[in-house]
Amino acid sequence: MLALNADPHGREQNQADGSFAPCCNAWWLRMDMTCDELITMSFRWQEPKYPVKLLEKINSPDKLRAYLDSLLISDIPKTGINNALELNMAMADLERFILWDGTLRELSTKFDFNRGLKQALLDYEDKKWQDPNTGMWGAWYRTRDGSIVKTADLSTTFHLVSYRDAKDVKHWPEIIRTTLAMRNGRFPFGWLEEGKYMSNHHNMDIVKLWSLGWPHATAEQRQQIAAAISEMLDFCLKQSLQPDGSFKSPEEDTLSSAFYFGVGFLHEVGYFSKFYRFWTSRTFPEAPQVRERIRNRITKLRLDDSEAQWALGILRFDR
């Protein structure tokens, strides 16, 4: 690959389907990589050259429901396949594509979505998928006796809530109660990576849910949330953040992912900007110096992928 004239994993757009995923064949992975690339382009006020025809696969209410139905229930004893990851990632992308395209949260696809797609997506989430007992979303599993087990997945719930209008989300009291009760569990059914230690990634998801659901939390729950965020912040600044401005995050796949979730967590708790500091009146006078340390490290490493560029954007605009 080093001897080639061009990077075989470069981010050139495919004219045929409009995707940015030369190294992937699975449709949902092509969609996920394309979504990340378009978000990065939006930071630069850029648009794709070709329409993202990749999305034709789900471009009607019936097509969308059929695709989601094919993933919602995993029958592992019968098929040997767990659909949880595809369900989570595909829904995160579909929300952003369908709900953001042509809105103030601009994500240009140059693709004409079916007019009924938005309502079909929200109805599926609210009326079929969300568990009213926990307030959460997650993969469902068919057991050997034919019964259905519904999981409460923090990652899936974070994606579905954070990419839509929070005021329209149902069952906020249940979401907050369930999230707090998961404290000692293994992610995605708890806060802890491998059930053992904190992670900026998981902490970012949890804090985002709490920030959106803050108006629905009781006084006692707000105290619990504030105490938990304080512990998470100590972990991020004292254990994860390194002297050179990088983040120690062994659970992440790439260096850029570590920056993405480290900076993302600090953004969600309002460390750099009091505008996002929903949980406390504390001030952080050292934050500007920390910001520059992280920004300088990303710049020095010359990271130009979507996750690193997103982190740089946050560091640039959070004041």
Q: What is the pLDDT of residues 41-50, one digit of tens each?
A: 887 888 999 9
What pLDDT score does 59 carry?
Answer: 98
Nearest-angstrom CA–CA distance, 289 and 283: 14
Mean pLDDT of 59-64: 98
Domain edges within the chain:
171-319
pLDDT at 2 over 90: no
What average pLDDT does this structure show over 220-242? 98
pLDDT value of residue 101 = 83
Q: How confident is the model at residue 195 (pLDDT cuts 50, 70, 90)?
A: very high
Q: How much is the average pLDDT of 178-195?
A: 96
Instruction: Dump pLDDT digits (tens) for 95-153.
Output: 999 999 876 566 899 999 999 999 999 999 999 999 999 999 999 999 999 999 999 99
**Most distant CA atoms of the chain, gap in Å:** 62
- Mean pLDDT throughout 231-242? 98
The per-residue pLDDT for 107 is 83
The pLDDT, as a whole number, for residue 182 is 97
The model carries a pTM of 0.91
Q: What is the pLDDT of residue 319?
A: 85
Task: Summarize pLDDT for 261-271 with one digit per residue, the tens.
Answer: 999 999 999 99
